[in-house]
Structure 1
């Protein structure tokens, strides 16, 4: 079973809106702008779905075909918040990408919770996801972003520092094109 299947099982509202064909993302352009490749579970999710929001709380941004350079640049721009935390000595030792082992933005909540990949390993599939909550809880998940989201939504992963239940029971999905379930 793929990681996206795992997420769709935890969030059937997402599966109901899956586009009929795969989205064609130019991953080499994303890597060129970022200076690194991205994890395969994120690529699989991005090829299945445009940017989506769940419950008006969780936002998962995916590249828009033909606009990969802008999508990559927005991931880098999202690191400004982390840089501010570093400057205030509140980042718990984490630093933004492209510094060695730096964090790279991958998702966020409407409450200011941030999800990052901790880069550093030459294999992006080995990158853990770092969760930084608005309550200053920081923790890592070793099995990728899509697995983390599926576990938080299903309740299989404790939402340390995040709302419990994670989505507050609202699993309404909005895709970037405005459709809702």
Structure 2
């Protein structure tokens, strides 16, 4: 069973999830292909969050020169990661590039370390904000998530253990989360949201 199939069993998608992406435009903009398991994830799940903690980013073409990239988008988080990498890259990591694919509520940034060759071989690197250090994992995107959900690393890579060993993680696409909030519900509990409407015009 490959990583995407294992992830699908651990964390089922929901109706209406998934995003269509112009991968030719995205990959031309970034100057590289993207890992197959990530492309499959975006088609099946899309951009959204896991248990209101881990935000998985939608691939987007890079902003033209002189234009600000999308707030909290893939390019913005990649620039944040590269700034941290420049100052605190692990010894022996060379001149690797990074592409961010996730962020969490602990201010961790989850990336691929972009090395020459097959994108499916890119390792995952995590900026752990609590430790102020980069951690590298010799696995791909889907396998990394599965191993977090199964607690299969020596220690939790993230700042919170909420997903660590979580046997039933829940994914919500951003649009579904917005739809539920619009109905006055807390998307993560299904209960009425006591703050619904407080911040609207």
Aligned equivalent of 1:173: 171
Are residue 69 (structure 1) and residue 68 (structure 2) matched?
no
Unaligned runs of 5+ in 1: none
Are 1:127 and 1:144, in contact at CA under 8 Å, matched by a contact in 2?
yes
CA deviation after TM superposition for structure 1 residue 38, in Å: 0.5
CA deviation after TM superposition for structure 1 residue 108, in Å: 1.2
Unaligned runs of 5+ in 2: 64-68, 178-186, 189-201
Alignment counterpart, residue 159 of structure 1, candidates 156, 161, 171: 156
Per the alignment, do residues 176 and 92 of structure 1 end up closer, same or farther by CA in structure 2, a change over 3 Å counting?
same
Structure showing greater radius of gyration is 2
1:127-173, CA deviations, whole angstroms, 9 ceiling, x for partnerless residues? 00101111224221222011101110122233145323535968343
Are residue 101 (structure 1) and residue 115 (structure 2) matched?
no
Over the aligned positions, Cα root-mean-square deviation in angstroms equals: 3.0
TM-score, length of structure 2 as denominator length: 0.70
Are residue 140 (structure 1) and residue 136 (structure 2) matched?
yes
TM-score, length of structure 1 as denominator length: 0.76
Are 1:18 and 1:48, in contact at CA under 8 Å, matched by a contact in 2?
no
Are 2:149 and 2:165, in contact at CA under 8 Å, matched by a contact in 1?
no
Aligned equivalent of 1:10: 10
Q: Which has the higher contact order (CA 8 A, sep 6+)?
A: 1
Aligned equivalent of 1:84: 83
Are residue 34 (structure 1) and residue 26 (structure 2) matched?
no
Distance of 2:141 and 2:13 partners within structure 1: 21
Size of the alignment, in residue pairs?
168
Distance of 1:56 and 1:44 partners within structure 2: 22
Distance of 1:162 and 1:111 partners within structure 2: 5
